[in-house]
Structure 1
């Protein structure tokens, strides 16, 4: 039985292999069907949804990961489909790789390992060659160096705190830092008021921001002209944050010492002093399980109660579920919409037990718990009245 007490089987379609630990969250009244043509919800990782059509029953999409570039979010918003992601679920995995590559690049570890492999046929001479050749890979310790962290969300905050524990100086920049992150961030992280201030002081810079119109190409010729010479730039967020032509020049001229990226392409692979990582940031068993569990819980909570957390297109909203009939409405964010919804309820002699409304941009989401016992004959009438209101996108009765 679901929380509503109504026997209903929800179909979950998976577009990628999803951890069994995540799928086990659903339990009874849920069916996992990779071939469903009309699922209630979709779970995916990197599958490209831009060219697909997944049926008119679709209510929710959850990506087991943070980025949603593979999902046409605007399209599904207009259809009233909530899109979830899982921010923070893979944060530890990304943090560990950032710190690993930060230390390894500073010590020239990657180049040293590749060179050592070339000695495979040197027989007894290998130890002597190693001792004579190691001087070309002398690196630097990170202790006492300054790390700049751009974006202090789930990953950035972890990186900053752990870098402090490695005796680094840490400067952070994030004009949109949340209250939750502020509580988690060490008070010893210095605050940069501008990016220019951070660029000028840091030996290493790691970036943890989404790709948007504003952040695209944020590392460019102008920036490379003011950064501390020889800086190492670590990019485990999105390849598009870096202007490739500009960083190629900066690497050749020594303005950038090394570029560590989790997003290699053919151009990047041809550049000097690039450390290309094959998109391993979140590729751990633990991370995949954490993301899958978080995505599944968000879908399950939404389907059973209408509550929304970690959506990229719907507002965050929660109303404690009491077992009463619940009306959920996704609609345009226009005046008097809530009044029209309550009028529709009143016209059917339905009393409101509880209600909440939240908006996000051009859209809003309203949940109403109905005091009365609502029989089956009233439900179609209520749905019809709500749909008659101009600006309604989708409605559902739980």
Structure 2
């Protein structure tokens, strides 16, 4: 039986790691040159990837801590676990919405500062400053209607809010799960113009960076609450400070602390705990383990951020997987080389994503020596980045 080595970072849940099965050695003798990494928040930028590394699974949704372009160029497939912590983040956002409306944190701090035998009287005399407001009937904007945003939109509606949703890239599968009562808008400006509460759930890209900028705040009314459990850089902090000073933003709640946000009036900073529940960490670890096991044992790719999803049942004696440059006629050249080796192709699937593509090549050939010779030819070919041989178990 082929065995694989996996190196873990950040105390991955051990129950989740059981999903790898007996064919995987975790943090064993080959941890300095493993087949795969499973990580959480470990920053891999500046890391020298070992030659043997084939996959990185991020036990979470965000992959900003991984140098994606470098990994892709080296033929390393990067996975994430979308949706595994979605319920945890959803609950954090709903809690933050209620916390903003009623200002429970400030109320608690005030009560804890009272002294004397007449504390109950002081409470009755001072409680009006924390009367707050109800969220029922308020307008709630969700930017990004993926696994997290879709759940938030549905629950906000159930709490009696008027929900606006914006996501030009929402998948069909996700769209089916979003309540018909969520008002879909085609222009993000409609979120800024209409909503009392706005939460954002999109990846950090050049396009989404500083989504909340001066132009966005200028479109808003007064006393808007901004909730950010996605990425800190989605908000321009200087523009935010001005919006708070002018009364446009009543409160900013974020899971991403920077020094300039700390100890600021009307800003609540949490220590990156949105997805940190016992259940979410277990779900992420299970999903990461399943993903790595599937990829290493079959070559199939599910939930990769840098390569396309590719599934194909392995029914032939051998499978060769190829990570290659996305250039014209590459599939024809692969097929020709197999034919010249005197081997029959039982199945082939090729999918591209950006500048690279991934090929599953199933061979109707039981002579392992012939298969290894063919793989060696591919390995020495131009435009082929990484080659693997998988034997049907």
Query: Structure 2 length as normaliser, TM-score?
Result: 0.97
SS of structure 2 residue aligned to 1:143: coil
Deviation (angstroms), 1:123:
3.4
In structure 2, the partner of 1:4 is none
Are 2:370 and 1:378 equivalent residues in the alignment? yes
SS of structure 2 residue aligned to 1:233: strand
Deviation (angstroms), 1:380:
2.7
Deviation (angstroms), 1:323:
5.1
**How many angstroms apart in 2 are the aligned matches of 1:104 and 1:380?**
61
Deviation (angstroms), 1:229:
1.2
SS of structure 1 residue aligned to 2:358: strand
In structure 2, the partner of 1:76 is 71
**How many angstroms apart in 2 are the aligned matches of 1:32 and 1:387?**
28
CA contact (8 A) 2:316 2:363 kept: no
Are 2:57 and 1:62 equivalent residues in the alignment? yes
CA contact (8 A) 1:248 1:271 kept: no
**How many angstroms apart in 1 are the aligned matches of 2:149 and 2:217?**
22
Deviation (angstroms), 1:30:
1.0
Deviation (angstroms), 1:34:
6.2
Q: Which runs of 5+ in 1 are unaligned?
A: 1-6
**How many angstroms apart in 1 are the aligned matches of 2:26 and 2:186?**
49
CA contact (8 A) 1:15 1:34 kept: no
CA contact (8 A) 1:340 1:389 kept: no
Task: Give the counterpart of 2:384 among 385, 392, 395.
Answer: 392
**How many angstroms apart in 1 are the aligned matches of 2:172 and 2:5?**
36
Query: Where in structure 2 are the equivalents of 1:1-398 lying within 5 Å?
Result: 7-33=1-27, 36-119=31-114, 122-322=115-315, 324-373=317-366, 375-398=367-390
CA contact (8 A) 2:321 2:388 kept: yes
Q: CA-atom RMSD, angstroms? A: 1.1
Deviation (angstroms), 1:196:
1.2
Q: Deviations over 1:288-320 (max 9, x none)?
A: 000000011111000001100110111111101
**How many angstroms apart in 2 are the aligned matches of 1:321 and 1:387?**
22
CA contact (8 A) 2:60 2:82 kept: yes
In structure 2, the partner of 1:3 is none
**How many angstroms apart in 1 are the aligned matches of 2:257 and 2:246?**
21
**How many angstroms apart in 2 are the aligned matches of 1:372 and 1:9?**
23
**How many angstroms apart in 2 are the aligned matches of 1:324 and 1:306?**
14
**What count of residue pairs does the alignment treat as equivalent?**
389
Query: Structure 1 length as normaliser, TM-score?
Result: 0.96
